[in-house]
Structure 1
Amino acid sequence: MTVLQGQVVCTESYGSRKTHHYKSLPDGRLSCVLDTPEGGGYRSIRDFFTAVFLPQGYPESVSPDYLAYQIWDTVQAFASSITGTLATQAVLKGVGVGDETSTVTAATVTWILKDGTGMLGRIVFAWSKGSKLDCDAKQWRLFADVLNDVAILMEILAPAFPAFFTLIVCISGFFKCIVGVAGGATRAALTMHQARRDNMADVSAKDGSQETLVNLAGLLFSLLLIPLVADNLCLTYSLYGFFTILHLYANYRAVRAVCMETLNRARLSLVFQHFLEAIEIPGPDIINPQEPLLPGFRHQLKITLGAPLHSVTSNVAEFQKALEGNSTNYLIFFNQAAGTVFVLLHRQARSVDVIKACSHALLLEVLLSRDVALDVIVKKKSLLAVQKQLREGSKNNGCSVISETHRVLDMIFPKFLAGLTEAGWVTERNLLGPEEWRVDWTIAGKKTF
């Protein structure tokens, strides 16, 4: 192939940020020309900071919400660094730094008790809530930051109550260790969401670099701030109030910027209700801003996914009746009086089966609490009759309710599932948080020898 002199032989790119053009020279060598707009010096500095503080391949290697989240996360980290400095100064003053009457032993005992209480808090919280942190990462991230501000406030106020100083700082240490567990776990969940090229380690490492830079800036600012607040409680409280408000606002904006494509219960509930009312599936960019960020998202029913059989029934006849006509990989046990729905998952249940089972429970919740045009969607008067019975609280046959809602869900779920995929939701995995219990009820039909 003959190549003319000065002709572009090929081009190469580094993500979307750099483009090289290779041209042929008279002596046969290749000349590399960087496609650089005006202001090359600024671009060089920007590229340096991009390489140091952003994941390789940015922005293609991360989720679209990465930059907005990181900006607000940087603001909240700076504010937290300042309030943390104020708290450290208060604690050091409380343990006796600068006080000639205090002893090293008393200060050491206080510090040991503070750290020991925090360690216990870390273990207890991880045991009780660790499995739920993935499901509601946004809520727990915001919860962790609010609790962190409460702990810092306690430390700032502790010197004003010398008789209870040790107790206050121990409780604060307990809270801060809970913050460490919740914040670290949710940060890992958000990192998994942001990493789009199996680059979790790189995203996490660059996030650490960003946080270190912010903490360094906070440290330098604190060096200027400490002499001003050393003996001025009014200024200390004023600065704490200002930076705490900034911290909470930045955290709210940060978690609101996150747009997750996996379904947890809150997002599935919003999507499913919208589907029943409008026969369309809204995308993650529409549902995520509507997701509640405060714990205690109200549900009409308490739904337990992956419940053990012994928590539902100990009656063979009742279990066999639940199996009659069932062709799904889950079983529903509904107790309207107790306001509970227990879902037994089959050993072979996949993510789609879990989504369908949770949708079934949500359908029961919708029948109890909302006026939706179900007759328009499914054209079944029998379901409207079930809805009327449920709302009137009549003594209906639980099995007939489950049977009828099974038939309805079998009709609408294929369209619902296809709509989820088309709208950009991930169905191969979910954040619905099922328990680990799995039942194999097909064994009843096997012969034993």
Structure 2
Amino acid sequence: MEKKSDVVVATERYGSTGFWKYVAKNGIIERRRDESESVGRRGNPVVGVFKRVFLPQGYPESVSGDYLQYQFWDTVQAFSSSLSGTLATQASLRGIGVGNQEATVAAATFTWLLKGTCIILLADGTGMLGRILFAWQKGSKLDSEAKKWRLFADVLNDIAMFMEILAPYFPAFFIFIVCTAGVFKSIVGVAGGATRAALTVHQARRDNMADISAKDGSQETLVNLAGLLVSLALIPLVTNNPMLTLLLFFLFTVLHLFANYKAVRSVIMETFNEARLSIVFQQYLEDKQILSPQEANLREPVFLEFRKMVQIKLGVRLQEVVKCSQELDLALKNNRLPFLLGVHNGCVCVCLGPKASVCDEIRAMCQAVWLSNMLSHQTQQKQSHWEMVRESHKLMDKVFDPFIKGVVAAGWDTGRTLLDWDEWRVEWKSKSS
């Protein structure tokens, strides 16, 4: 108990989990836990060790507010995926003759070496090709639409494992099915790894991406160990029991997809991508209300959409906006901003200048969203595209400044964006020249 004669000469804390003070008494400085600050904060020592091993240093201040909820659902999906993978692997091994009691040892060994090697080579080769092609086509989308592609990767992974389970029942197409599943899994590897990195960037609040990634790896290792122990008890039950295999796979898949959906839904990103900016800007045009990051993220679609809408292309070549000098004059009319807008082949195209700022990019995207909505709801051609472009400039002159101030006040990060701009940058002459 601290006496009145004791003098506190210093205090210290370890994040938000522990508080201490240094007390001077008779020329000696003694370190004591500050019970007044630590009330309700001292927990089980075992839990404390667990946190230090599996959570980033400085948790919870060093990560985003959605970290714990996301990691919980990510752990659930990883565990269920581990068990589903065990069932799929067992089915694949059965398909190449492992466990066939009717075969001799020599025949089983020959079958395993020949058939297994061919399948591995084919599956790996097609998987490598699929990985390269997917990264080429969709690499830039994995940053701007991380939630969608994260969920897509897990759905595709379940489809691939389901194909591996069914493959032994179609021996004539076994190699084709397994190779196709291999391609799917290679795409899953690219999409899953890239979107995980994008989400780690979002979670890191102290430039501690490496620490978060390392602790995420530790969590995954622990989950895989738990999955392995459960699998050891599971394999004897499902061996030579295809109905139970399919039933368990179905249950694990449902749990896996549900956990993944909850995981991506729990992520609250404060930077704008096309979907979030579109949601916030359209709401502002309706009632002048600015949605918070949490409100907009809850409305953001997390499934890939295949419905037909007026597409927006950002950072295109000049020839996709204007075709002649007359159209260039129309594009520059009432426009002194470092971007040009136009409509080409049913798409809203934005041509960006080299000196455009992040704020200019946000404004260009807002105008493109407005144009896209106007074109989507236009039942008949009442006005030309260039007239609509001029209207968009007039509208943005009125609403953009209060809009951008509102989004900053609502907690949005306007210092950078996740808008999917291509690399084309164009310098054009002003209309007067």
TM over 0.5: yes
Is the partner of 2:354 in helix, strand or coil?
coil
Aligned 8 A contact 1:273 1:366 in 2: no
**1:47: Cα distance to partner?**
1.3
**1:30: Cα distance to partner?**
2.4
Which of residues 356, 359, 362 in structure 1 aligns to 2:363?
A: 356
Is the partner of 1:134 in helix, strand or coil?
helix
Residue by residue over 1:262-313, the C-alpha shift from the partner in whole angstroms, topping out at 9 and shown as x without a partner, is: 1111111110111011101010111111111111165642111111112333
Residue in structure 1 matched with residue 272 of structure 2 by the alignment = 263
2:420 matches 1:423: no
Residue by residue over 1:42-77, the C-alpha shift from the partner in whole angstroms, topping out at 9 and shown as x without a partner, is: 521111111110000000000000000000000000
Residue in structure 1 matched with residue 63 of structure 2 by the alignment = 62
How has the CA–CA distance of structure 1 residues 24 and 444 changed in structure 2, closer, same or farther, with 3 Å as cutoff? same
Is the partner of 1:331 in helix, strand or coil?
strand
Aligned 8 A contact 1:80 1:243 in 2: yes
Alignment of 1:11-410 (within 5 A): 11-33=11-33, 35=35, 43-99=44-100, 100=103, 101-102=107-108, 103=110, 104-296=113-305, 298=307, 300-335=309-344, 338-369=345-376, 390-394=378-382, 396-410=383-397
- Paired letter, 1:114: A
- Paired letter, 2:73: W
Aligned 8 A contact 1:8 1:23 in 2: yes
The CA distance in 1 between the partners of 2:39 and 2:229, in whole Å, is 35
The CA distance in 2 between the partners of 1:256 and 1:79, in whole Å, is 18
- Paired letter, 2:142: L
Alignment of 1:426-441 (within 5 A): 426-441=413-428
Structure 1 window deviating more from structure 2 (397-406 vs 197-206): it is 397-406
Is the partner of 1:202 in helix, strand or coil?
helix
Gaps of 5+ in 1: 371-389
- Paired letter, 2:356: A
The CA distance in 1 between the partners of 2:207 and 2:332, in whole Å, is 42
Aligned 8 A contact 2:333 2:390 in 1: no
Is the partner of 2:264 in helix, strand or coil?
helix
Residue by residue over 1:87-124, the C-alpha shift from the partner in whole angstroms, topping out at 9 and shown as x without a partner, is: 11111111222343442122211111111111111111
Residue by residue over 1:175-196, the C-alpha shift from the partner in whole angstroms, topping out at 9 and shown as x without a partner, is: 0000000000000000000000
Is the partner of 1:259 in helix, strand or coil?
coil
**1:4: Cα distance to partner?**
6.7
Aligned 8 A contact 1:4 1:24 in 2: no
Residue by residue over 1:8-56, the C-alpha shift from the partner in whole angstroms, topping out at 9 and shown as x without a partner, is: 222111111111122123352323325455896x521111111110000
- Paired letter, 2:357: R
Give TM-score, length-normalised by structure 2. 0.92
Percent identical pairs in the alignment equals 52
**1:152: Cα distance to partner?**
0.4
- Paired letter, 2:25: L
Aligned 8 A contact 1:145 1:248 in 2: yes
The CA distance in 1 between the partners of 2:34 and 2:239, in whole Å, is 54
Equivalenced residue count is 421
Residue by residue over 1:343-392, the C-alpha shift from the partner in whole angstroms, topping out at 9 and shown as x without a partner, is: 1001111211111111001112333456xxxxxxxxxxxxxxxxxxx544
The CA distance in 2 between the partners of 1:410 and 1:217, in whole Å, is 58
How has the CA–CA distance of structure 1 residues 89 and 183 changed in structure 2, closer, same or farther, with 3 Å as cutoff? same
- Paired letter, 1:359: C
Aligned 8 A contact 2:151 2:302 in 1: yes
The CA distance in 2 between the partners of 1:74 and 1:124, in whole Å, is 30
**1:205: Cα distance to partner?**
0.7
Is the partner of 2:322 in helix, strand or coil?
coil
**1:442: Cα distance to partner?**
4.2
Aligned 8 A contact 1:303 1:340 in 2: yes
CA RMSD of superposed structures (Å) = 2.0
Is the partner of 1:61 in helix, strand or coil?
coil
Is the partner of 1:29 in helix, strand or coil?
strand
The CA distance in 1 between the partners of 2:40 and 2:261, in whole Å, is 37
Residue in structure 2 matched with residue 377 of structure 1 by the alignment = none
Give TM-score, length-normalised by structure 1. 0.89
